[in-house]
Each structure stands twice: as C-alpha cells, then as structure tokens.
Chain A
Amino acid sequence: MIRRLLPAVHWPSVRGRARADAGPLTLAAVVVAAVTVLAGSVPVLLTKTADQAVRQAVRTAGEQADVQVRSDWEYDDGVSGGRVRDPRSAEELDSLRDRALDQLGPLRDQLAPPIEFAGGPYLKILGGSEPRSFRLAYVAGTSEPAVTWISGAAPRSSAEQPDSEVPYTGDPWPVQAGISETAAARLGIGPGDRLQTEDVDGNPCDVRVSGVFRPVDRDDLAWQVAPWLLDPQPGADGPGITRFGGLLVAESLPDARLAFDIDDVSLTVRFRPDASVLTLDSAERLAAAVLTLKATSGSSAGRGGAAQWTTQLDRVLRDVRERVDAAQAQASVLLSAVLLVTVLILLLAAQLLAGRRAAALTVARQRGTSIVALGTELLLESVVLTVAATVVGALIAWAVAGGVAWGWLLPAGVSAVLAGPGFGMVTAYRATRDKRSPANRSARRWAERTGALRRLTAELAVAAAAAIAVTVLHQRGASPSAGGTVLLPASAPALGALTGALLLLRLLPVTTGLALRQALKSTRPLAVFGAARAAFAARRVLPVLALVSSAALATFALTLSGTVGAGLADGAWRSVGADARIDLPDQPAMTTAALIERVAAAPGVRHAVAAEVTTATPVVVGGASRQVRLIVVDSAAYRVLLAGSARPPLPALPATAGPVPVLVHSSEGTLRAGDTMDLKAEGAPAVTLTAVATTDAIGDTGDVVLADAATLTAAGVPMVPNTIWVTGPGAAAAAETTAGANVVARTDVLRERRDAPLVAGLIRLAWASAFTLLALGLLGFALDAAAGAPERWQTLSRLRTLGLRTREARRVAAGELLPLALVAALGGPVLGVLLAVLTLGPLGLRLFTGQPGDPALLLPWAGVVVVAAAFLVMVVAVVRVEAAVRRRNRLSEVLRVGGA
C-alpha cells in the first residue's frame, strides 16, 4: 500500500542512510524528545500550579473567600404587641441553606458543605482588667458540631412554652449558652453563672452559662466560621480586645433572637470554596456566578427568606489571576526562547547531516533518483524519527505532568520533520546542478547583489518582528487575558536574541578578517593558520545564530531567575523591615526599652530599634488627604541598623526648626522630596511635615513617611512603639525567645514567598530553560566542531607535513574554534542582559517578589561566567577529544590518496 503510494522510494537507500548516520539522527531525536518533555509539560504544570495557587490563596484568604448568603428573619410581631418566640429558627436557617444550594446548582461541587451561622451582636463583658467582648453564635454544618459537656448541660429554651409571646418592654430576655473549656477558665465562670454583659448602648444582657463544653472534633468545618467559640480570640473586635464566644443550640437560638433587636442576630449560610477541588477555572466560574446571584438578589436582604449573596472571592481571585497571567507570560517567554534555539539547533544538525551525506546524495542523483524522490525518502526518515521522538517525549511529559500540551511542540516538530529533507534536497540539487557562476561579470555581480539584498531583507524582517514584539510586549504584556495572540509579545526576547545574533553574524567575518590580516603580519607562526581557518568558518550562518541565541537566552533566563530571587529578598526585607520584627502587643509584659535591651543582648543580634508603624495614617498633602504608612523611629539608630545591612543607606534627617523633616517613599511617585504635609494627631494641633528626601530603604506598597521620633515628639506627637526591628544572624531566634509569638522573621517570609507555587514554579522553569538553552548551545558547538573536523584535521595534517608539532596543531585547532566560542561566550551574555533590560519590565515580576515596584535587574554574574566559560571549555574539550581520536591516525594514512 505504502509502496504504491510512494513508488519512488528506494527502501534500501533509506535504511542504509539511516544506519550510516544513526549517531546524528539519534542526537536530533534526543533533542526533539527533550524539548517535547519541556514544552509539553510546562503548560500543563503551569495550569496545575495556577490551581495550586488558587487553592493556597483561597486557604490564606479564609473567610474572605467565603461565599455568603444572608437573609433576615421573618417578622415576629405577635398579636398582643410582643414578639413571638420562633422555635423553628434553626429550620429557617436550613431552608435558607437549601434554597442557596438550589441557586448554586452544579457549582456547589466547588464548595465545601455549607455552614449555617447565626450570630448575636457585639457585647461587652463587664469587669476584668482587659477589654473583652462576647458574641453568641449558632453554627451548624449538616448538623450542629458535636461537643462533650464536661460540666453543666447543653443550653435549653428559656421559655416555658416554645412559642410564647414576649413583651417588647421588660427585663432582657435570658439566653442560655455554652462556653468552651478555655473560655470558662479565662472568664472564671461555670454552669449556672450569669455572664455580666452589656450591648453597645450600655443595656445589660442576660446571658446564662448552661454548661462548659469541649469540641469532639476541633477540625469540624462548622467551627471555622466562628473559631472564637472554641478559643478566645485577641484583636477580633478591635485592637487589644479579646473576643469570647457563647455557643447556641437549636433550642436556645430562638431566645437569642428575642434577646436582641430583630436585625441584630444575623442569619447567614456560608460556603467555603473547597480548596481540594478548586481550580483557577472553576473558581473564576464560581466567583462570576456568585456575582450574578449577588446582582440579581438586590442590595438588601429580603425579609423572610429572600437571600442576599456576597463574596470577596472575586477579589481574592483577581490577585491570583494577575499572578497566573504573569506566570503564563513568563513561561511563554521562556518556552519561546527554548523553542527558537531548538529550531536553530535542529536546522544546524540537519545541515551538517546533509553535508555528511553530500557524497551519497550526489551518487543517488547521478544514478537518476529525482530530487523529489530523494526528498520523499528523507521526509520518510525524518517523519518516523520525529514522531518516535515526540511520542517518547510526550510519554515522559505525561508521566511528569499528567498531561501534554501540544501547541508548543509544533515549531520543534515541524522543523525536525522538514529540516532534514530540505537541506538534503538543496545539497543534492547543488551537487548536480551546473555549478559554473555566470561568466559575464555584470551578471555575476547582479547575482551577488540579489543574494545580498535577499539576506538583508530577511535580516530586516527579523529585526522588525523583534521591534514589533517588544513594542506589543510593552503595550499589552504577554499574558493571555490581555487579548490577542500571546506568541508575538512572548517571543520578544527570542526574536531580540535572533536579531542580535544576526548583527554579530555580520560583525564576525569583519572581525575574523581583521584578525587574519593582523595574523598575516604577526611574527607568531601559528596565528595565521588558526586565523585563516577561523575566517573561513566564521561565514557559516546557523552555528553563529544558534550559539549566540542560546547563550543570550540562557543568560536572559538566569537574569530572570536572579532578578526574581533578589526581588524576593528585597520584598521580604521591605515587608519585615529587618531580619526579624516584633509586633508589640497593646499591653506588653515588659517596657519597650527593657525588651530592646533583652533582645539586643542576645547572641547573634546586631541591632534592635523600636518604631511606631501605623498604616493608613491620614495626612493632607496639597489640600488632599491621603493615607500613608507612618514610621516613627529613632532615625539615628535606624540609620545604624540599615548601615549594617545590605539595604541602601538612610538619608540624614536634619534637625531643623519649623516643619518636621521626614523621608518619603512612594511606589506610585505621589510623594516627592520637597512636599509638605499636615499630620493630624489626636487631641493636638496638626503637625506640618516636610519631605527632605526620598529613600528606597523603607517602604512596601503605597506611600511611606518616615519621621524621627525625637523631632516628632518635640512637635507634640509622642511615639508609641508598636514594632521592634532586629537585625543580625540570631535576630529571629532572639526575638522569638524574648517576645514569643508576635515575631515575623524575614527568612520565614522569604521562604514562604519563594515556596509559593507560582514563584517556585517560575524559578524552576527559568533554571530548566537556562540549562536546556545552554545544553543546546553546547550541543550546537559540538555539532559544528564535528562538522568542521574533517577539514580542520586535513589542514592540520598538511601543516604537520610541513613541520607543525602535535602540540602546535592543537593550538591551531583551538584558534579555529575560538571565534565561534568567543562570540557566543561574550556576545551572548551581553545580548541576554540587554534583552532582560528591554523585556523584563512588562513581565510583572513584582507580582512574585512582593515589592512595591518591579525588581531591580540583577546580573547573575556567576551564571554569566558559567555560560561564557562553558563555551570556552568546550573549545578545549573538543580539541582534546579530537586529538585523542585522531592520535592513532598516522600521517601516512591521512595523506594517502583519497584519504583525509
């Protein structure tokens, strides 16, 4: 069948050629397979990582990511002018839940089982030295969470009759509630006790402790919506206020309703996105659906069951989406880079293979095989090889990633299929066509000129494509959600590298020509031979393009990962402010001074400085009020602290009369040196601040103002320290032993951010790309060296018959290989850094580093050195290997007729 379709195919030739060139063919297949693994798995892994990032974001967001349905209780006015106790309150919650589930439809698979929640208003616990609040709450999943009553009993109804009517006036209606073991211990009360509480208006409330409970399963999802039912929660109702909870059950919930105004007890069902099944896609669908429900349900909850939907999930997802988009853009950029170099290497390999086969192909032509038939035979070979390699690669990718993305495989696959037949046919054609160049001089010149013009056109086309790609990248970014094709902007660095390589390709013959002219004049005997061979080799197009692109893009990838790494470090410092930060409680057990003294005395601590950091402090700048982060600190001590770190130094704050001098940092550039602003302090006249300088040493996102503590105190605003910054190798440990839980260590923040799925994935991909690119480049070098080896060693043998020593022959060989290695080793990294400068901006690295702005470009010196050295080491390696391989070939053999 196939034989009839391809009548021209001469099978023995196909087999013979494949067997003769098994090595190079296998190499090409390995390249295709390796790149298939990378390009096939990365998009799949990225999708998975995006899903992971969504899950993590949803987990971190906690209740912010919840989908909530709220309703209002049915009016409960009774016939005699009081309120009627509704014993079916818990069932109302159930029906709200059921209706919500109906409305969600299939989306409920993305959500954890709903939790019903009914909570009372903020109550103040009277007495005690610290401010404490109290809230009553009813929670239930499919049922109320199981508890053991370790003393007393579950709350009961306070009414004799389940549906008795209660007058509006009169004593507060009693409510029975259970309290947790820890709360009971902290409050010092037990079953039967009445908890002394009042509402915000100062009205007393009648809360009775029915019993003390212990949760059967602390991890029951129901507790998640009100963790304070189990453990008192500091800060939940404002700074320094600890919230205690009272557990209601179905039987006491009606009493809680009667105890407060009808709208003071909430009626909600909460759905927590199920992080274990959520994907970015499904989460976005969920958020969109909830937003639609929210829009159609109106802004206010309906009385008697009409549900009002709310969620912040969309906001949580927007952040994730932005990061995923950026990650996708970066992955596309890196993959484009790898694919460009892969295509170049495959072309190079095909060209070299065609060269190796030139004699055989010529013979085949002379025997009468048509070019088309030869092409068909070669196509057959390349298709079989490419398909086999792609299948192997795809299988590995599938094993690694659990899926294969086919789109990115196309460029490598197509070039692997077409390059071999293409170069083979051209070789066969050239070998057998009429080789004479036109005798007519003007005709010859015309042919030369069209050739040059064609080349220039191609070069300009690549340069134009690169320019357009960079422009589009800057305007739109390279993320898929920006609309349009991703491929063009994402290939900006790749096209840029190609353009640069083309430029170097133009320069290289000029340079080697110059070197040759220099060598011809020099008295060093060897220079001329190496230089002559080099000048000859420098005219080959593909090796220069492949090697320069690979070195440039490997450097680019290393710069990307280095920049992200440095940005993460910087971002972590900015977030923490030092190696470790102690967040001081409102009522510290120790004075700040004593604490600083203890911390500073600990081993491994360099500096410890107290500061008052307040976010969202309103200041008036140019008549407009804006919120800034105000840092009040002993600026001299802080300057010393910063000086001992790798941070930029802190500018001096002159002690001037008049406006208080401050330093500013503004990620959007809204605050500048020279600005004056008014700081409103409580119970004091406004203080005028003047920005004397900007500084990069402080600041996260938004605007930051730093003032000296003493100066500001003198101006009437005393510092109330809430933060201690500690530096030194032992900072975190010292802070933790001294201040316990309220410590944020920089290394922890850094590790957490670096290990975040998208960031870790991106860094891994950048490294993998750099490695692949470098490996491909070195492979290209080896291929080119192998292709040039016969001629090189023929020349060297001939020189040896003239008296060139073995040792010298090696030097000449190195001299020939050096220009290509040098242009890759020097031109590549320079080009790569240039590309990074040009294209890293729009890639949104700041989304990963946690910095206010894009991270400063970090030149990965070690990486650059490795890339450059790799190519130079290759020269030595190739020369050594060749010398070893050819040692046995005696001159007598090489010079025989037909040999060498």
Chain B
Amino acid sequence: MIAPLVTVRGISRTFGAGPTAVHALRDVSFDVEAGRMVALVGRSGSGKTTLLNVIGGLDRPDAGSVLIDGEEITGLDEDGLSQLRRDKVSYVFQTFGLIPVLSAAENVGAPLRLARTPAAEREQRVRLLLDLVGLAEHAEQRPGELSGGQQQRVAIARALAASPRLLIADEPTGQLDADTGRSVMALLRGVVESEGVTVLVSTHDPVMMALADRVVRIGDGRLEQ
C-alpha cells in the first residue's frame, strides 16, 4: 500500500451564518495517493473549488484537517502557507493566472525565482518545461500574445517548475474548446507519469474522468461514493 500524499479528514466549510449560511463542504474525508491523478467531479456549486482551495491552503476550513506529505496545513500561518506553495503545492486555474507583463518563459521561471534557484539551472528547467508543453517556440511571447490553450500549457509548465509534490487544477479546461481541453488533459496525464507529480483536478469533462486514476464525486458539499 502506498502512503497517501494528501489526507483530508472531516473538512467542513460554511460561508456566512444564520439562515443564509451556505454549507459548501460538510465533513469531507478522503485520501490521495502519491503519483496519482484524481478527478474531482460534481455539479456546479457542489463545492469543488471550495474543497480544492482548502486542500491547497488558499482557504481555511471551519473544521477538519488536511495533511500534505505528512504536514498538517490547516494550522499553518501565512508564511508557512507561502512556504508550502513554494515547496509542495502548485495550482492551475481555469483562468490560467499568468502574469501578463512577463513572457512565457519568465512566467514559467517565476516559481524558481521565488525559490532562488540559480539562473543557469532555472533557465535550463524553463527550457525543458516549455519543451515538455510544446511551447519552446513561444518562450518570449507574453500571455496576451498566446492562445487560451497555449496559456494553460504555460500555466501547467509553471506549476511544474518548482517540482511540487501536489498539483491542484481547478477546471483547467473550463475556458478551452473541447479539442484544446483534451490536449491539455493529455498533457496533465503525461506529467503525472513523467514528473511523478500527484494531480488533483476538478472537471466536468467525461474524457478527463477517463484519464484519471480515480474519480471522487462531490454533491452538495458531501462526498458521494
């Protein structure tokens, strides 16, 4: 049995209070084994984004705990969370989240800069990653000069740059057409194999579910088995 990379225990998250309170997550528990690609599936408003945010340390749960690589993250302070993001967790967003004023290469290199990776090593890794996502030609272009699919591939390259243990992707194909989305999915599937990274991805896409090692269903804030 492989030790789980992510352990989610009894997570609850409620927005607001009183009669208007929204229970986005109710007592959610599950594990994600290292080196797997897990798809999180559910209807709109079911709590996918909320769950991914809590697991990635972008949001705090009201109750429960999240362990990543054995580290309890719900108790971390801001600096601890920053460190977590530098070292272990990276994100891919539906809206790509690239930095518009930096070139594709600089976007990919950004996490390495934050980690103070030496320049030569950084450049080499950026080249490698851009090759991996098939954008070697477009290294010097700004996000605004790239297509949506290309931008998302840059975002994936960037998410991989600092060699994280866990990659969280929230509907990464949400803004892409079906074909482009599928190629991005294939790319994600590929990096799980090549980089050994664990991927937790939310999606509506049946193809994506097919590519995943496992599918976790969520409905109205609860896991559906």
Contact = CB atoms under 8 A, between A and B. Distances in A.
Interface of A: 520-521, 523, 525, 528-529, 532-533, 535-536, 791, 795, 798-806, 890-892, 895-898
B101 A523 contact: no
Given A525-B114, A801-B90, 4 more contacts: A532-B102, A801-B85, A805-B82, A895-B97
Contact of B95 (A523, A528, A803, A897): A897
Contact of B101 (A536, A804, A898): A536
Contacts of B94: 897
Contacts of A535: 101
B119 A890 contact: no
13 contacts: A529-B110, A532-B106, A799-B114, A800-B82, A802-B86, A802-B111, A802-B114, A803-B84, A803-B111, A892-B50, A892-B58, A895-B91, A897-B171
Contacts of B102: 528-529, 532
A441 to B, nearest CB: 16
Contacts of A803: 82-87, 111, 114-115, 162
A799 B110 contact: yes
A890 B101 contact: no
B97 A528 contact: no
B49 interface: yes
Interface residues of B, number: 37
Interface of B: 49-50, 53, 58-59, 78-79, 82-87, 90-91, 93-95, 97-102, 106, 110-111, 113-116, 118-119, 158, 162, 171, 174
Contact of A523 (B82, B86, B111, B116): B116
- Interface of A, helix, strand, loop or mixed by DSSP: helix
B115 A528 contact: no
Contact of A804 (B114, B118, B119, B162): B114
A803 B93 CA distance: 15
B134 to A, nearest CB: 22
Nearest to A900: B95
A557 B84 CA distance: 54
A529 B82 contact: no
Contacts of A896: 49
Contacts of A805: 78-79, 82
User: 7 closest pairs, A vs B, by CB?
Assistant: A803-B86, A892-B59, A803-B85, A892-B53, A525-B113, A532-B101, A536-B101
A321 B58 CA distance: 73
A293 B44 CA distance: 98
B58 A801 contact: yes
Contacts of A525: 113-114, 116
Given A532-B99, A802-B86, A804-B82, A895 B93 contact: yes
Contacts of B91: 801, 895
A799 B111 CA distance: 8
A802 B78 contact: no
Contact of A802 (B59, B85, B171): B85
A485 to B, nearest CB: 46
A795 B100 contact: yes
Contact of A533 (B79, B101, B110, B115): B101
A528 to B, nearest CB: 6
Given A802-B110, A803-B85, A805-B78, A529 B99 contact: yes
A892 B78 CA distance: 13
B201 to A, nearest CB: 15
Nearest to A896: B49
B1 to A, nearest CB: 31
